[in-house]
């Protein structure tokens, strides 16, 4: 499953950006790290970087399996689970 995503685009991917029914992911933000400053959310690098990408049915199935695992982890850890904006990774 390769889509030519930048590291920050992948890290910024949220579940709300995943279209299970439409088999798409939409790149609309990045999550970046700068040494000595920390992490921050930003817009993609260029205007054309904000884009929907078609994904295969097998990629959708992998994402669904991962979502089930992530939900189980969230339930297991309860209040210790930190997830402010529903990121995929």
Which pLDDT value is given to residue 4? 78
Does the pLDDT at position 36 exceed 70?
yes
5-33 pLDDT, tens digit per residue, is 889 999 999 999 999 999 999 999 999 99
Contact 11, 89 (CB under 8 A): yes
Buried b (16+ CB within 10 A) or exposed e, 29-67: bbbbeeeeeeeeeeebeeeeeeeebebeeebbeebeeee
**85 or 47, which is more confident?**
85
47-80 pLDDT, tens digit per residue, is 666 788 999 999 999 999 999 999 999 999 998 9
Spatial separation of the C-alpha atoms in residues 89 and 87, rounded to whole Å: 6
Global pTM exceeds 0.75: yes
Q: Quick one: residue 69, left, alpha or beta (phi over 0 = left, psi -120 to 50 = alpha)? A: alpha
């Amino acid at each position: 499953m390769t889509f030519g995503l930048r590291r920050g685009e992948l890290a910024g991917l949220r579940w709300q950006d995943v279209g299970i029914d439409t088999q798409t992911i939409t790149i609309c933000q990045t999550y970046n790290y700068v040494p000595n400053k920390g992490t921050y959310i930003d817009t993609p690098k260029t205007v054309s970087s904000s884009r929907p990408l078609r994904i295969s049915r097998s990629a959708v199935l992998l994402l669904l399996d991962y979502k089930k695992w992530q939900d189980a982890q969230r339930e297991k850890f309860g209040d210790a689970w930190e997830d402010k904006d529903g990121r995929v990774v």
